[in-house]
Amino acid sequence: MSIYPASHLPNRKVLLNNGKEYLWFSGTDYLGMGHHEGFLNYLHEGILTYGTHYGSSRNNSLRLTVYDETETALAKFSGAPAALTTSSGMWAGQLVVKELQGIIKSCFSTENVISPRVHYHYAPRVHPALWGESYEVDNSTWEDWGKKTVLDIQESNHEDIHILFSDSVGSPFVEHFNFSIFDNLPFDCQILLVVDDSHGFGVLGQNGTGIYRELSAIRQVQLIVVSSLNKALGIPGGVILCEERIILGIRQSPFFAGASPAAPAYIYALKKLLETNAYTPVHQRLLENIHDVTARLTGTNLFVCKNNYPVFCSLDSNLFDFLETNGILASCFSYPQPTDPPVTRLVISALHQKEDLDRLAEVCIKF
């Protein structure tokens, strides 16, 4: 794998340390918030008010109200009953994993059951943020896993507890997951669905509000959605979206109390962005760019993609080299494990202009 050192944050283009400039079609800054003028202004206001960091526990005697205010705004934005921010999306997922026993007691009736049996169902290629001690690799398709999981739960003892872990969308190789398969789950079983929406929050759903509203229609499950805020939304932090009672339990965890929070200046900026509805117009620009590229590249049969989603993938490493030779930098590396096959991954952002998309289509068609 080639390395391309740079000392500048990519925009539409990226300038490398060797002086070469490329069109940039990679990363996860789907909405281009790293260069959003309003965001930069709000962040400046936040730094003037709160400084650069907050060296304290969220459970300290002194409480910065900006966290609670922003979490209320995040819950409204996503359609969740409540939200809790963390220092990263990875920690949001691992915090849920570490607190599963408490969450189980909060969600399910276990008083009259001696040591209820807990079954863990990990979807294929689920992100490491949701890995726990019980994690096992599953190399099947997501659809086959979903069907098997539904069947296993249908045939299980109704006093058993089932924990389902999945991403909202496949990454780095993009995959569409049809969660309606869980409409076939029985209503008399105790089921918790935990979904990592890191690559969907800000992109999927109406106006980019994520997958929580869609999944909340599955009445058979208790739902927890975790996500990074550091992708589409541009905030270095994470969030847990779920019922209020689950949030209250997690807040008492030593793993929450002992972890530093996301920087309050960024949390303030996020609050302002949500209050001013700033994400909606950039999400609309992203959709327009996606539709433009999709119309141009569909006939090439080069990529696997998902409707209204900004990622186009190929397992052909020669494509990455061809793009690079023609002034376009995508990504091609093994993830999340070094033994995984490298994926050539093209990412469209709200920052791209028509001339950029024209050039991308021209080079791909030429390939």
How does residue 1 score in pLDDT terms, banded at 50, 70 and 90?
low
Looking at the predicted structure, is the pLDDT value of residue 365 above 80? yes
- Residues linked to residue 6 through DSSP beta bridges, in sequence order: 16
Residue type at 270 in one-letter notation: L
- Rounded to an integer, what distance in angstroms lies between the CA atom of residue 219 and that of residue 32? 35
Give me the CATH code for the 13-36+278-366 domain, please. 3.90.1150.10
Average pLDDT, the chain: 93
> Per the structure block, which two tokens stand in for 343?
């994926």
Looking at the predicted structure, is the pLDDT value of residue 334 above 90? no
Contacts of 117 (CB under 8 A, 6+ apart): 157, 159, 160, 161
The CA-atom distances, in angstroms, between 31 and each of 41, 101, 118, 231, 233 are: 17, 36, 39, 8, 7
Residue ranges matching CATH 3.40.640.10 in the chain = 39-275
Q: What percent of the chain has pLDDT over 70?
A: 98
Q: 77-92, pLDDT tens digit by residue?
A: 999 999 999 999 999 9
The pTM assigned to this predicted structure is 0.95
pLDDT of residue 316: 84
Looking at the predicted structure, is the pLDDT value of residue 93 above 70? yes
- Rounded to an integer, what distance in angstroms lies between the CA atom of residue 185 and that of residue 317? 40
Q: Which residue has the higher pLDDT, 61 or 356?
A: 356
- Residue 47: count other Cβ atoms within 10 Å of its Cβ: 17
DSSP for residue 240: E
Q: 117-171, pLDDT tens digit by residue?
A: 999 999 999 999 999 999 999 999 999 999 999 999 999 988 899 999 999 999 8
Topology (CATH) of 39-275: Aspartate Aminotransferase; domain 2 (3.40.640)
- Residue 106: count other Cβ atoms within 10 Å of its Cβ: 17
- Rounded to an integer, what distance in angstroms lies between the CA atom of residue 60 and that of residue 203? 34
Tell me the average pLDDT across 64-76: 97
Q: Which H helix or E strand runs over 78?
A: helix 65-78
Residue ranges matching CATH 3.90.1150.10 in the chain = 13-36+278-366
The candidate with the shortest Cα–Cα distance to 144, out of 123, 161, 162, 127, is: 123
Burial tier of 115 (Cβ tally within 10 Å: 0-12, 13-18, 19+): exposed
